[in-house]
Structure 1
Amino acid sequence: MTNHSLRQASLQSMEAEIESLLKTLETLKDDASDESRKTLKTLKSNAESALRHSRSLLGDAYAEVKSKTRETGLATRDYAQEHPWTTAGVAVGALGLLAAYLMCSRR
């Protein structure tokens, strides 16, 4: 009988150890999940901050390009109105170069 009770006690001890191990693993998993959530929140926050900064920079660049394009268009219009024959000559020359390029590229 003592052998049987010794086995019983040994089995109960092993079961208690396994339960303790499972509880420890569950706690570790929860801690890792919490840490992962914190890390993901930090990464998300950093990504959103970088996106806002990029949008701000692109918005500024777009405004600058828009302004420069408008200024260039106005300057071109003014020059064309002040010098119509020169503008026409440049336009004809550009068309001639384009036509010559297209003819040469077919060969």
Structure 2
Amino acid sequence: MPLARADLVVALDYPRWRSFGRLLRRTLRRLGTGEVICNGNRESLGSVLSRDSILLWHVAAFGRARRRMRAWQADPDGPPVLLFTHPAAVNDWLASLPPR
């Protein structure tokens, strides 16, 4: 339903190694700092090593998410999809936008 109401989809289709590396770095930082992530929750060693780990979720969901983004982009009836495969391309696109 939300996709049908979108004017534009910006999809970050980075390589698995880059995506996982960023997630791992954020997770380790949050473990070290005790940073609150959402609804007052914090990363813990137990949560990172559990079967519900965000790291395991990433491994399992990565291919599904990639296929979904590419299907959105191929759908002529959906909103336009900008599919970025590298952070530099996102930065270039953002720099090209008019100032607000």
Q: TM-score scaled to structure 2, two decimals?
A: 0.28
Quick check: which one's helix share is greater? 1
Quick check: which one's strand share is greater? 2
Bigger relative contact order (CA 8 A; separation at least 6): 2
Larger radius of gyration: 1
